[in-house]
Structure 1
Amino acid sequence: MTEPALADARRVAREALALYGDDPAAEVIAAYDQRLQGPLRIALAGMVKAGKSTLLNALLGEELAATDAGECTRVVTRYHRADTPAVTLHPNDGPPRRLRFRRENGRTIIDLETTTADEVAWIDVGWPSENLRSLILIDTPGIASLSADVSARAHAFLTQPSSPSAADAVIYLMRHLHASDRGFLEAFRDVSVGGSLTVNAVAVLSRADEIGSARIDSLVSAGQVAQRYADDTELRSLVLDVIPVAGLLAETARTLREEEFRALAQIAALERGVRERLLVSADRFARLADAVSLGEPARRALLARFGLFGIRLSAALIRGGSTTSTALAQGLIGQSGLNALQVFVRDHFRDRAGTLKVYGVLPGLEELLKERPRPGSAALLAEIERILATTHSLRELAALSRVRSGAYELPAERIAEAERIIGARGDLAGVRVGLDQFADDSAVRDRAELLLTQWRALAESPLTERATVGLCHVVIRSLEQVALGVDRSLPDGDSGFLMPHDVVLPR
C-alpha cells in the first residue's frame, strides 16, 4: 500500500529533533529518526542453544555469526550492508572502536581482545552482502541463560523500543514451548509496534530435524508440532505463525563445499545395507571405519556441518538425482524449511517495512512529547494523531492483532476471513480475497465485490457488537482498495534478501 505515512513520520521526527535539540530527550528522538530512515531491523531471539546464530548464517548465506560458546555469542550483534567489511564495538562506556577479525575455514572470527561481553553494549558488523541491502539482522544472546547478565542483556535490548538498536520485528526460535518463551514474547509484544500487537513476531520451531530423531521425514513431524503450536490460543496472540526450520541443514546448504559434496556422494554410492548400517547413529557413523574410505576426521566434520539428518537426507537426494553440488544445495534448502521462513519474512515483514517502522516509532515519540511538553509539541502531537488515524495500513495492523487475541465474537470462518483480508497471509490482492496469488484482476475484483456486500451487511446489522463493527470497517476499507486495484506495495523498494529461487553456489 503506497501511503505517505513513512515520509510524514520522518518529517515529524526531524521537527521534534529540532524542537528538542537542547533537551536530553534529543538522543531518544534521534534514535527514532534513525530507525525510520534505516532498513527494517529484524532480531533473532530465543533461549540458549536454540540455533539463532546458525539460522542467521543460513539467512545470510555466509558463516558470519559465531555459533560456538565464545564471548561473541553473549552480546548483541547487528549485521548491516557495507561496501567493505568492518567490525565496530560499542562499549557500555566510552567511544566505539574498530575490532580486528579474520576468516578461518569459511567462518568469521572476531577478536574482542581484552574486552569482556559484560563491557559491550553491542557489536556492529558491516558486510558487503546483497542479502542485507534493505534489512538489518540482529543476533541476540540467549533468553533464560544460566548467566543472569547474558539473559538480562537480551531482554533489555529487545524490550526497550527507544534504544538506537531497537528491532522492528523478531524471529523467535524455540525448540519446545517453555514458560520463558511465552514470557519473552509477551514482553516484546508489550513494547513493540505501539504496544500489545503481535504482527511483528514469528516463531520458528528450530532444530526441527531433531523432533523426528533425524529420520528422513523429521520435517513432516516437525510441521505437525508447529501447527499445534500455531493453533494454540495463547500463542496466537503473541506470534503470527510457527514455522519449522532445520537451521543447521539450512546453513550448511547455503555454504555447501565441493569436497563435502564429494564425500556425501561416496556415502550415497554405498550398497544399501552398508549405508543403512553406517547411518544408524551419529556415533556409529563416526567410528565405523571399514564401511567407507572417508577417515574419521572427515566423517566427524560432516557430522558437525550436516548432522545425521543432513547426511541421511543428502544421500537420499544424491541417489534421487541431485548429482551436482548445486542441485544438492537446492534440494537441502527446499527440505530445511528455510524457504517458508524467507517467504514469511518477505510477505509479513519486508513488504510491511514502512508500516512497521512507523507504528514502532510514533507511539513512543507521542509518549515522549506528552511527558516533556514545550511550545510547539502540541502541533507535533496533532500530526502524529492524524497519521495514526488516517493511515489504513496502520489500522490493519492493529485490527489484525486484536483479531488474533480473540477480541471479536465471530464464527471461526469469519475470523479467518477477516485475518486474511487485512493481511494475515500477505499483501497480494488475490490472497487477501481468498483466491490464488496469480488470479487475474477481474476475478479479484469480482470476489472483492462479493465480500464487500457480506461485510457491509454485517456492519449494518443491529445485532453486530460495536467492537465488531469497527473491525468490519477496517475489512471493508481493505476490500475497497482491492476492488479499486490499489497498489499495496510499500515505497521501500525491493529487498536484496535472498529468496527461495536464489541459490548461493557451493564453494
Structure 2
Amino acid sequence: MSDSSAMMRRAVLEVCDAFDGVDRRGTGRVTDQVRRSLDDTIRLAVVGRVKAGKSTLVNALVGRVVAPTSAVECTRITTHYAFGGPERGEVVLRDGRRVPFDLVGGGLPESLPVPIEHIAHAVVHLQSEVLRDMTLIDTPGLATTTTGHEDATRRTVLGHEGVRAADALVYVFRDMPLRDDMEFLREWGSVTDTPGQAAARSIGVLSHADTFGGTPWGADDPIALARDRAAQFAQQHGAHIGSVVAIAGNMAQAARAGLVREFDAGLLAGLARVPELDLELRSGDDFAELAPGIPNIEAKRLVDLIGEYGLRHGRGPAQQGARALSDWLVRASGVDELRRALAVRYVGRYAFVKTRRALERLERLAWANGAPPPLRGIIAEAHLRPELHPLQELDALERLAALEPTHPLVAMLDRQLAARNDAEKLAMPPSSPPTQLRDRALEWSVEARRAAVVEPYPERQNAYQVLDRSFTNLALRLGR
C-alpha cells in the first residue's frame, strides 16, 4: 500500500470513528460496512457480445484455462473469479444460499449442481497471483437470442435495484463496435456518478487483433492495423471508454496459460522452410504432409492453439523452443499492454475509488433525514483534509479526460495520482533534496494559480485550481 493510500484509509477510518462518537446506534451499521469496504479488491466485469472472446481473455489474464470457451451450461451465468484457497467453486442462488461444486481440471465443469434458473452467479476461488489485486467477472454474451443471458450481464454491470457487482468494465469487441455495443456503453455511463467516471471506469479490448481486416496472410500486419484502429477508436469515443487495447486473445491464452509445449514448438519450427502460400492454402487432407513428418492435422491443431497468425509468424521464435515461442506470443498478442493498462487505470487507482465511494456513503448518511447535524460538519471538514485531496485530483482528471483525453493537464493530474514519491510528482530526479522539491512545488503552484485566472474553459480551470492546491500542500509538507 502506498503512503497516500494509507493516509486516505486512515482519514476515512477517523471519519467513521467520529460519526460513531456522535451517534453509534444510528451510524454503526453504515460505518462498519464502510470499514469493511476499504479491504475490497476491484471487481472488473468482462463484457461483450457472444463469441467476442471474453472467456479467452479471462483465461489469458488469470494465466490458466478456467473459463470455458465453448457453449456449455456455465457460460449462461455470470462467474466471479476471486483469489482464495483451497481452490473451489460455489453457486450463489437467488435466495442467497450457496451450493459448492468441484472444479474440473482447475476450471468450471460443463454442468452445475443447480438448475441455472435458480442461480444468481457462480464464484470460483483460485490461487492466482493476478486475482490478489482484482476479481474478474466473466459475463454471458450480449445481443443473444436468449434474453435471460443478457439480463444476467445487465444486472451485474448496470445494476439491479441500485446494486452493482462491477466496479469497472472491460468491454470486448471482436472486430469493431456495433450500435448496440455503443448503446450498452452509454447505459454504463448513465449509472456512473459523473460522465467522466464512465470513461475512467471502462476500457475496450479488440480481442481478435491477429485476424483484423480479414486474414493474417496478406502484406499488412493485422495486429499493427488493429492497434492503429484501437487508438483511433479511443480518441473518437473518449467520453464513453477510457482506452482501447488490441489483443490477439488465442495467442495470449496459449502463452499465459502454459498451453505451448516443446512438441508444439518443434512442429512449428519444422514448418520454417514451407512456403507461406503452401501454408495458407494447405490441403484438406488431414494426413497429407506439409513438411517431412508433419501432416496437415498437426497444422490444424497448431492453428486451434495459436491461430493462423501464430502459424505464419511464430516459426522463427519456435526454433528456440517452447519458452521462446511463448515469450513471442505474449509480446505479439498485446496481453502485457492490457495488463499494464489494468494495473495503472484500475488496480493502481482503486484505493482512490474506494475512498471516494466510502466518503460518498458517509455523506449520504450525514444528510439523511433525522441525522444529527454534527455529522455534516465532520464530513465537510473531511473534504478539506490534505490527505484526501487526491480525490479532487481524480475527479478533475476524470472530468477533463472525458472531454480532452490528450490535454497536457490530464497527464499532469495522472502523474499526481500514480507517483510513488514526491520527486515523481514534480518530474524531478529521485535524489533531489527536499529544498529543491519545495521550490519546484511552489513554482508550479504559482503557475497553476495564474493559469486558472485566465482559463476560459471550466474543466481546465478546475484542473488548474486542483493542481494549485496539490502543489501548495506538497510545498507545505516539504517545508516542515
The interval holding the TM-score normalised by the smaller chain is 0.7 to 0.9
Q: Structure 2 CA distance, aligned partners of 1:397 and 1:151?
A: 32
Q: 1:156 to 1:469 in 2, by over 3 A?
A: same
Q: How many Å separate the matches in 2 of 1:225 and 1:364?
A: 40
3-state SS, counterpart of residue 288 of structure 2: coil
Q: 1:257 to 1:50 in 2, by over 3 A?
A: closer
- Find the counterpart in structure 1 of residue 222 from structure 2: 218
SS in 1 for 2:290: coil
1:346 aligned residue: 343
Which moved further from structure 2: 426-435 or 474-483?
426-435
TM-fit CA distance, 1:30: 7.6
1:231 to 228, 235, 252: 235
Matching residue of 2:137 = 138
Partner of 2:464: 472
Change (3 A) 1:263 1:86: closer
Residue of structure 1 equivalent to 2:172:
173
Distance 1:243 1:482 in 2: 35
Q: 1:138 to 1:30 in 2, by over 3 A?
A: farther
- Which secondary structure state, in structure 2, belongs to the residue aligned with residue 6 of structure 1? helix
Q: Which amino acid aligns with 1:307?
A: G
Aligned length: 460
* Residue deviations 1:296-326 (CA, integer Å, cap 9, x gap): 554333222211112223213235xxx1222
Given candidates 438, 452, 455, the residue that maps to 1:459 is 452
Mapped to 2, the partners of 1:134 and 1:89 lie a distance apart of 22
**CA separation in 2, counterparts of 1:204 and 1:444?**
39
SS at match of 1:68: coil
Alignment partner, residue 126 of structure 1: 125
Query: Aligned pair in 2 of structure 1 residues 12, 120: CA closer, same or farther (>3 Å)?
Result: farther
Whole-angstrom distance in 2 between the partners of 1:367 and 1:287? 66
Task: Confirm whether residue 71 of structure 1 aligns to residue 64 of structure 2.
Answer: no
Q: Which residue of 2 aligns with 1:206?
A: 207
**More relative contact order, 1 or 2 (CA 8 Å, 6+ apart):** 1
The AA in structure 1 aligned to 2:369 is P
Structure 2 stretches of 5 or more lacking a match? none
Aligned partner of 1:373: which letter? N
Rounded Cα–Cα distance in structure 2 between residues aligned with 1:286 and 1:137 = 41
Q: Percent identity?
A: 25
Partner of 1:398: 395
Which of 83, 91, 94 is 1:92 aligned to?
94
Q: 1:359 to 1:172 in 2, by over 3 A?
A: farther
Provide the rounded CA distance (Å) in 2 between the counterparts of 1:145 and 1:444: 56
For residue 416 of structure 1, the aligned residue among 404, 407, 414 is: 407
Letter aligned with residue 228 of structure 1: Q
Residue type at the aligned position of 2:170 = I
The answer (yes or no) to whether the contact 1:268–1:318 under 8 Å persists in 2 is yes
- Taking structure 2 as the reference length, the TM-score comes to 0.82
Aligned to 1:83: 85
SS of the residue corresponding to residue 101 of structure 1 reads coil
Q: CA deviation at 1:39?
A: 1.5
C-alpha deviation, 1:369, in angstroms: 6.6
Question: Secondary structure of 1:359's partner?
Answer: helix
Q: CA shift at 1:35, angstroms?
A: 3.9
1:357 partnered with 2:354? yes
CA-CA distance at 1:139 after TM superposition: 1.1
**More deviation in 303-312 or 465-474?**
465-474
The CA deviation at 1:77 is: 0.9
Q: Map residues 23-422 of structure 1 onto 2, 5 A cutoff.
A: 34-103=36-105, 108-109=108-109, 111-116=111-116, 118-160=117-159, 166-175=165-174, 176-192=176-192, 197=197, 198-212=199-213, 213-215=215-217, 217-232=221-236, 235-257=237-259, 259=261, 261-270=262-271, 272=273, 274-280=274-280, 284=283, 287=286, 289-292=288-291, 293-319=293-319, 323-363=320-360, 366-367=363-364, 370=367, 373-376=369-372, 379-380=374-375, 382-388=377-383, 390=385, 391-406=388-403, 416-422=407-413
With the length of structure 1 as denominator, give the TM-score of the two structures: 0.78
Q: Tell me, in whole angstroms, the C-alpha distance in 2 between the residues paired with 1:258 and 1:193.
A: 44
Flag the 1:375–1:77 CA change in 2: closer, same or farther, 3 A: same
**CA separation in 1, counterparts of 2:173 and 2:415?**
22
Q: Paired residue for 1:490?
A: none
What are the within-5 Å matches in structure 2 for residues 424-443 of structure 1? 427-428=418-419, 441=432
CA distance in 1 between counterparts of 2:284 and 2:444 reads 58
Distance in 1 (CA, whole Å) between partners of 2:355 and 2:285 is 52
Shift of 1:59: 0.8
Contact kept? 1:100, 1:110, Cα under 8 Å:
no
Q: Is the 8 A contact 1:420 1:431 kept in 2?
A: no
Give the AA of the match of 2:396.
A
Distance 1:146 1:386 in 2: 52
Separation in structure 2 between the aligned mates of residue 120 and residue 11 of structure 1, nearest angstrom: 39
* Cα pair distance change 1:392/1:185, threshold 3 Å: farther
> Structure 1: which 5+ runs fail to align?
487-507
Deviation at 1:445, TM superposition (A): 7.6
Partners in 2 of 1:69 and 1:383 — Cα distance?
53
Q: Deviations over 1:363-416 (max 9, x none)?
A: 35645775x63444x555554555456422211221122212338xxxx9xx62
Q: Distance in 1 between the 2:314 and 2:427 partners?
A: 37
**8 Å CA contact retained: 1:249, 1:336:** yes
Which shows bigger deviation, 237-246 or 10-19? 10-19
Quote the Cα distance in structure 2 between the aligned partners of 1:191 and 1:10. 27
Verify the 8 A CA contact 1:161 1:192 in the aligned structure 2. no
SS of residue paired to 2:170: strand
CA distance in 1 between counterparts of 2:374 and 2:392 reads 22
The residue identity in structure 1 corresponding to 2:178 is H
Give the secondary structure class of the aligned counterpart of 2:289. coil
**1-side partners of 2:163 and 2:92: how far apart?**
12
Residue 423 (structure 1) shift = 0.6
2:9 partner amino acid: L
In structure 2, relative to structure 1, the CA distance for the partners of 1:147 and 1:481 (3 Å cut) is farther
How many angstroms does 1:468 deviate by?
A: 3.9
Deviation at 1:263, TM superposition (A): 2.9
Tell me whether 262-271 or 197-206 shows the greater mean CA deviation: 262-271
- Note the aligned Cα RMSD (angstroms): 3.6
Contact 2:78 2:138 in 1 (8 A): yes
